[in-house]
Amino acid sequence: MTAVNSEARTAEQAVSAWLEEFNAALAAGDADAAAALFETVSFWRDLVALTWNLTTVEGPDGVREMLVNTLESARPRDFRASEPPTEANGMVESWLEFETEVGRGRGYLRLRDGRAWTLLTALQELKGYEEHRGVNRPKGAEHGIHPGRLTWLEDRERETAELGYSRQPEVLIVGGGQGGIALGARLRQLEVPTIVIDRHARPGDQWRGRYKSLCLHDPVWYDHLPYIKFPENWPVFAPKDKIADWLEMYVRVMELNYWGSTEAISASYDEEAGVWDVHVRRDGEDLHLRPKQLVLATGMAGVPNRPNFPGEDVFQGEVQHSSEHPGPDAYAGQRVVVVGSNNSAFDICGALYEVGADVTMVQRSSTHIARSETLMELGLAPLYSEEAVAAGVSTEKADMILASLPYRILHELQIPLSDQMRERDRDFYERLEAAGFEHDWGPDGSGLLMKYLRRAGGYYIDVGAADLVADGKVKLAHGQVDHLTEHAVVLEDGTELPADLVVYATGYGSMNGWAAALISQEVADRVGKVWGLGSDTTKDPGPWEGELRNMWKPTRVPALWFHGGNLYQSRFYSLFLALQLKARQVGIPTPVYGLQEVHHTS
Amino acid sequence: MTAVNSEARTAEQAVSAWLEEFNAALAAGDADAAAALFETVSFWRDLVALTWNLTTVEGPDGVREMLVNTLESARPRDFRASEPPTEANGMVESWLEFETEVGRGRGYLRLRDGRAWTLLTALQELKGYEEHRGVNRPKGAEHGIHPGRLTWLEDRERETAELGYSRQPEVLIVGGGQGGIALGARLRQLEVPTIVIDRHARPGDQWRGRYKSLCLHDPVWYDHLPYIKFPENWPVFAPKDKIADWLEMYVRVMELNYWGSTEAISASYDEEAGVWDVHVRRDGEDLHLRPKQLVLATGMAGVPNRPNFPGEDVFQGEVQHSSEHPGPDAYAGQRVVVVGSNNSAFDICGALYEVGADVTMVQRSSTHIARSETLMELGLAPLYSEEAVAAGVSTEKADMILASLPYRILHELQIPLSDQMRERDRDFYERLEAAGFEHDWGPDGSGLLMKYLRRAGGYYIDVGAADLVADGKVKLAHGQVDHLTEHAVVLEDGTELPADLVVYATGYGSMNGWAAALISQEVADRVGKVWGLGSDTTKDPGPWEGELRNMWKPTRVPALWFHGGNLYQSRFYSLFLALQLKARQVGIPTPVYGLQEVHHTS
């Protein structure tokens, strides 16, 4: 009892002493003094609170420079522990709250020997523009008698009739999957007039249209949307049509202005007026929308990478990119060649095998495979699981803890996890490799999460189909495709793979491809590559960026934003993007610190 | 610090000592010993845990008799405090958990001087039939390869096609408002095949069809459905169309088998087969459903009480029961007489006044009015409010605390509240009475909640319209209607009220009227009056019943059940009704203790 108390006291004292010096340095505008509170190897990650950017600065020098440039405008202050700090293995950790000139934030601090190793500062709300929730939730009924008042329904109907016609939205979100929806919901709560458009008819159709056995590969605790959590009876890995229904419901009850069956045809920025001119086609009708801000939430996958092999014109069967594959039902008994060996390839092979197709997978390069359950239990469970919830780690806290781990060292934290996974699933990997499958753990052994962040590909989260390859039920071929003949795919080594259907599970380009398609190649090039950390590994060339390129933060093209990622990212980062858009709507100054350089255009 | 700790210890010791003796008495089958642990004036309320009934027994004698009849079959045991007991003003209170032979329960205990004043025991789940949630949530994706497996969507589509056609439901719920929906959701989670039917096309249409300015009169914290809570941005008093959308989406994501546009035409019980034969008309198609259990959830309001005054045939205007009133829009500038002075009457008068109708309210008897905000702040806030949530009183806990207060003494707890309200809103009541409005606080001054429980009427929750009466903007007339003429309503005292529209806000009959309409008068009479406590006050004749008549518990007609009430009741009591239905489905013995006598048929 005494020991625990004294440790708690020590942790509290350490945090309180550090915060006192830190607040004093900030108040005095003394960047040097503040920087001196950080370890030599240390990281301050700021999400829109000081920098109006998503930025990680490193070491005292990085901290100093960032503060020199932001202190005067942001005026960060009043950092305080929001719950009792903890201490373990010499690391003191504390939840923080703080203020800036224009907003309120939350943070997370890790101290070692009295100096900061990591600090996360994340803006939560803008003063004067707080969301109406909890004690500030809207009243609903306007009690009293108000002749001529509009009911909620009449008000909604009027808004629906006007927005995009007689009244222009502040923000247009192109793409109404989970990303566009989560951001749309936050902007709605922040009272930023927004339209979300999607080419599919109904919210969720993005999921409904995919192959029929698809379930989320991430577990439920990681997948919540903002505002409304999945209920306790929600499946761990939700089937695609169930997620689709949820998204549809969510759009309705969160009152999004969601235009289904609407395509964005082209867009250009009117510099003078400071608005976009976006040509959209809604249910066949041509319209021009004039939003101030344009968000591309068309999927982190980007434009499909569709190879064009010689002989496609003579091939007698069907050729599809994985994004076009309708599911297995029409291909029972047929010979299918799937080019590629990552997530889509495995999912499609598994579903085709289930209906009795004769399936061959063409592996062109090595792939990392992680078993879904192993990944969930070893990788996510400490933060996202029923046990985490029971231990008080809400989704909101888990998101912040995850965000507090600097990208720069994330791979170091992942490597031991790979070792555990390798050990736990030793038989599985031995069987796969015995079957000739080329398996890797990433360039530095850091496994799946880093592949996801660096290149958004090169892996498969195994939900069963890997066994088919290990058992030879799905045949395996190796090498590059050379050409197609009337009835076969021919590899560079001359191997001939008879095929009625060829599926190119060959992945997707960078998201700025969407900007090229919608706006212009020039604008896409100005934005540069989207996603990836600059880790100088395959498909993620250096230099080091510190954050995911161009995601959820200002790009080199004013008023153009990129949003997307998995459900966790859609949920968490939509807040910071929404706050950036809100600030611009109401004219809060948003001086951006550390606007990224463009090093690569795709 | 020491004082607090010592009080906490005392409370804990008191509860622990009491529970030890209580558990020992139960284990020994010693009803006398258990009864001796209760105060002379004391109450044990059991919700399906021991009695397979909703029953309150009183005093040691009541406890003894109940235990003599239930101990052997129910075998209640292992009562334990589930969190540290508290003590205030000599009353020790404790949350409990316990088991029975077939289930697990939660409870709430109040001790005074070492003996029980109140005990609530509420069944939560049946062993072997626990809901799949939290750590037991369904997996969703069936990882692995399963040729021919159905996807979630295919499975749902098959169920939808079969249920009610090639496969009969276990339970048919007639009425798909919040009551039917909440119960349907629980039965779904308990894997009891259920169909919910409603004559409206879409879930929520029950609300959509009502007058357009309607908002919930109860605040959001009181209104949650099971499983999915309203989000933090949900309005305090939700507009009817917003609630409707929520219900529609809830039905979808909770996967209810909900048949809209379906009317129940007639029903009869096939004693031999042990099933109901329910003739329904679905989208114009005649069908016979054969459920084992029939639940009437057609609204606690029962069949409209529609007077038939002389002269209706000569009256040249429109006559409507309040349930038929379409809202005010068509009546701008017209003369409207609203007969009645309770909730519906006020709401309708207010909305009509807003569009510029000339409105007269006919008060036939006195009414209790409580201002919505006052009611919320004084009445509900300790249990249902943002402050309660912040203080750790979840909706689930609030429901249990409310349920732990015995109906017998509830009015005594309400009378001081009336005094506070009278004081707080003195001006309001003085103005109303000065305008000639006959106002009461219930027969014993116990106010709104007791009127609701005793007679489900006789009050108005003021959201603004009372001022119209106080200010003379809605005119007030007094007395009984004698007859109608071509253009007027004539009261017994000869007063003539010119009218283009007459609305009978004359209330509703008892819910067993639905059984008369659907099954037979004989069955309705066997069931007897539904709702009310037997308080021997207006519209709630004695003798004392101890619980709401026939609600959520076995009736005198096997396999016929009544469900309904406000959102709180729909949420809370649906659990106990669902557990009763589940037990019958799977053949768990359900010996009912204290099956109510029928004292009144309407």
- Predicted pLDDT at A6: 63
Q: ω before B543 within 30° of 0 (cis)? A: yes
Whether the CB-CB separation of A225 and A567 falls below 8 Å is answered with yes
Contact (CB<8Å) B151/A241: yes
| Residue of A142, A253, A254, A348 to mutate, interface with B, max B Cβ within 10 Å | A253
Q: CA angle at residue A381 from A378 to A382, to 5 degrees?
A: 100
Strands A335-339, A501-504: pairing is parallel
Q: Which residue type is seen at A198?
A: D
Q: Is the pLDDT of residue A59 over 60?
A: yes
- Predicted pLDDT at B20: 98
B377 Cβ under 8 Å from any chain A Cβ: no
Contact (CB<8Å) A233/B149: no
Contact (CB<8Å) B253/A241: no
Strand order in the sheet with B194-197: B258-259, B194-197, B171-174, B293-296, B560-562
Q: Is the pLDDT of residue A3 over 50?
A: no
Average pLDDT in the B421-450 region? Answer: 96
Nearest residue of chain B to residue A466 (CA atoms)? B144
Q: Is the pLDDT of residue B567 over 90?
A: yes
Neighbours of B486 (CB within 10 A): 9
A124, A115, A113: which is closest to A44 by C-alpha? Answer: A115
Average pLDDT in the A420-444 region? Answer: 96
Nearest residue of chain A to residue B357 (CA atoms)? A147
Residues B106, B107, B108, B109: is their CA dihedral positive or negative? negative
Quote the CA–CA distance of A502 and A517 in Å, as a whole number.
Answer: 26
Length of chain B: 602
Q: Is the pLDDT of residue A453 over 70?
A: yes
A230 or B206, which is more confident?
A230
A96, A97, A91, A123: which is closest to A110 by C-alpha? Answer: A91
**% of chain A at pLDDT higher than 70:** 99
Contact (CB<8Å) A133/B253: no
Q: CA angle at residue A515 from A510 to A520, to 5 degrees?
A: 125
**% of chain A at pLDDT higher than 90:** 89
Quote the CA–CA distance of B362 and B505 in Å, as a whole number.
Answer: 10
CA-to-CA dists, residue B592 to B81, B259, B578, angstroms: 27, 32, 15
B465, B493, B198, B492: which is closest to B343 by C-alpha? Answer: B465
Q: Is B143 exposed, middle or buried (0-12, 13-18, 19+ CB in 10 A)?
A: middle
* Binding-face residues of A in 199-238 toward B, CB within 8 A: 212-213, 215-216, 220, 227-228, 231-238
Q: Is the pLDDT of residue A27 over 80?
A: yes
Contact (CB<8Å) A233/B350: no
Quote the CA–CA distance of B549 and B565 in Å, as a whole number.
Answer: 12
Average pLDDT in the B20-49 region? Answer: 98
Whether the CB-CB separation of A55 and A120 falls below 8 Å is answered with no
pLDDT confidence bin for B7, thresholds 50/70/90: low
A137 Cβ under 8 Å from any chain B Cβ: yes
Average pLDDT in the B210-219 region? Answer: 84
Q: Is the pLDDT of residue B358 over 60?
A: yes
Q: Is the pLDDT of residue B451 over 80?
A: yes
- Predicted pLDDT at B6: 63
- Predicted pLDDT at A7: 66
Whether the CB-CB separation of B513 and B303 falls below 8 Å is answered with yes
Quote the CA–CA distance of B407 and B545 in Å, as a whole number.
Answer: 9
- Predicted pLDDT at A574: 98
pLDDT confidence bin for B470, thresholds 50/70/90: very high
Neighbours of A536 (CB within 10 A): 12
Quote the CA–CA distance of A368 and A451 in Å, as a whole number.
Answer: 9
Whether the CB-CB separation of A50 and A121 falls below 8 Å is answered with yes
Q: Which of A499-503, B235-239, B296-300 has the highest mean pLDDT?
A: A499-503
> Token digits for B92?
């020790």
Q: Is the pLDDT of residue A9 over 90?
A: no
pLDDT tens digits, one per residue of B387-411: 999 999 999 999 999 999 999 999 9
- Predicted pLDDT at A359: 98
Whether the CB-CB separation of A98 and A80 falls below 8 Å is answered with yes
Crossing angle of helices A178-189 and A567-586, rounded to 10°: 40
pLDDT tens digits, one per residue of A338-352: 999 999 999 999 999
pLDDT tens digits, one per residue of A97-114: 999 999 999 999 999 999
- Predicted pLDDT at A150: 86
A238 Rama sector, left if φ>0, alpha if ψ -120 to 50, beta otherwise: beta
Quote the CA–CA distance of A485 and A544 in Å, as a whole number.
Answer: 44
Give the E-state strand segments of B431-582 in sequence order.
459-462, 475-478, 481-484, 488-491, 496-498, 501-504, 560-562
pLDDT confidence bin for A215, thresholds 50/70/90: confident
* φ/ψ (deg, to 5) at B121: -125, 125
Q: Is the pLDDT of residue A205 over 90?
A: yes
- Predicted pLDDT at B217: 86
CA-to-CA dists, residue B294 to A56, A132, A412, A527, B266, angstroms: 62, 43, 61, 63, 12
- Predicted pLDDT at B3: 46
Quote the CA–CA distance of A54 and A295 in Å, as a whole number.
Answer: 16
pLDDT tens digits, one per residue of A120-136: 999 999 999 999 999 99
Mean pLDDT of the residues in chain B: 95
Among partner residues A135, A144, A464, which is closest to B143 by beta-carbon distance?
A: A464
Nearest residue of chain A to residue B133 (CA atoms)? A233
Nearest residue of chain B to residue A133 (CA atoms)? B233
- Predicted pLDDT at B8: 67
Q: CA angle at residue B335 from B334 to B341, to 5 degrees?
A: 125
From the centroid of its chain, how far is CA A231? 22
- Predicted pLDDT at A5: 57
Among partner residues B140, B238, B249, which is closest to A249 by beta-carbon distance?
A: B249
Q: Which ranges in B261-356 belong to alpha helices (H)? A: 343-354
- Predicted pLDDT at B213: 78
CA-to-CA dists, residue A223 to A38, A112, A219, A299, B66, angstroms: 34, 33, 7, 16, 48
Could you tell me how many CB contacts below 8 A there are between chain A and chain B?
Answer: 183
pLDDT tens digits, one per residue of B481-494: 999 999 999 999 99
